Structure 1
Amino acid sequence: MLSISPSLNIPDDEIELTAIRSQGAGGQNVNKVSSAIHLRFDVASSSLPEVFKHRLLQLNDRRISKDGVVIIKAQQFRTQEKNRLDALERLRDLVKSVTIVQAPRKPTKATKSSQRKRVDSKVQRGKTKLLRGRVIE
């Protein structure tokens, strides 16, 4: 069971983990040992609340296919167990990111004082640059 928050869990039977051969350097075992992990999680058929499913499917993330399946490939570590934990942690972070609702931004106005200071500094800067001009004798 993958725990996202105290009230939100994903059962193990909804997460498909497959061991595959890793790319890159691996020494003698590179063609023999399947140390990379391929994680598949079908969002539509999961037990997540509908709100989180909708938010996950709306994400513009390359790990989520058009069919609504989260695909994570973990091959950073040399051992299968570490890669499995890494893949599950990345899935947890992805799901946790949609559980947090951002408060809508409240547009603010610049104060009169700040506007005046900005214009005054521009005028001062212009005067300084004017003094750098050619000296007329």
Structure 2
Amino acid sequence: MIQITERIAIHPNEIQEEFMQASGPGGQHVNKVASSVRLRFNVGESSLPPFLKQRLLASSDQRLTAEGVLVITSQRFRSQFQNREDALSKLVSIIRSAAKPPRRRVKTKPSRGAKERRLNEKKKRSAIKKGRSGRFSSDD
């Protein structure tokens, strides 16, 4: 079991792994070894609690497909094992961040001084724009 929080864990069978050749530097070695990893985690069919599934599916994460599959790729390291561990840690951090309850917004009001400064600035702008108008007193 992959432990997410104290109460939430996912089974390794829920994650599909795909290994492929990584791009980037590495010489001839990079053309022989499939060190890059792509993890696929189906949020909708997982054993996560319903509230957590909703939060994950409602998130605007680019790695989430329209079908509700979370796709995580890692090719930071030259080792397949390290890339696999990196991708798993990314998955765990995404689920952990969704497990945290969202912070409630505290309503605030602008202070009296802030209101006065805003109105004074509006009056100054108004005076500047009035000065630009084409109405001139001609004494000619």
When normalised by structure 2's length, the TM-score is 0.79
Deviation of the 1:32 alpha carbon: 0.6
Deviation of the 1:104 alpha carbon: 2.1
Give the partner amino acid of 1:41.
F
Per-residue CA deviations over 1:15-70 (Å, capped at 9, x if unaligned) read 11121111111212111100001101011110000111111111111101001111
**Alignment of structure 1 residues 39-54 onto 2, 5 Å:** 39-54=39-54
> Which position in structure 2 is the counterpart of 1:5?
5
Question: What secondary structure is seen at the aligned counterpart in 2 of 1:13?
Answer: helix
Q: Structure 2: where are the runs of 5+ without partners?
A: 122-140
Deviation of the 1:6 alpha carbon: 1.1
Runs of 4+ in 1 over 3 A off after TM superposition: 113-116
Q: Structure 1: where are the runs of 5+ without partners?
A: 123-137
Give the partner amino acid of 2:80.
Q
Question: What secondary structure is seen at the aligned counterpart in 2 of 1:84?
Answer: helix
Count of residue correspondences = 124
What is the alpha-carbon distance in structure 2 between the residues aligned to residue 74 and residue 67 of structure 1?
Answer: 21
Deviation of the 1:94 alpha carbon: 0.8
CA RMSD of aligned residues (A): 2.1
What is the alpha-carbon distance in structure 1 between the residues aligned to residue 113 and residue 94 of structure 2?
Answer: 43
**Sequence identity, in percent?**
38
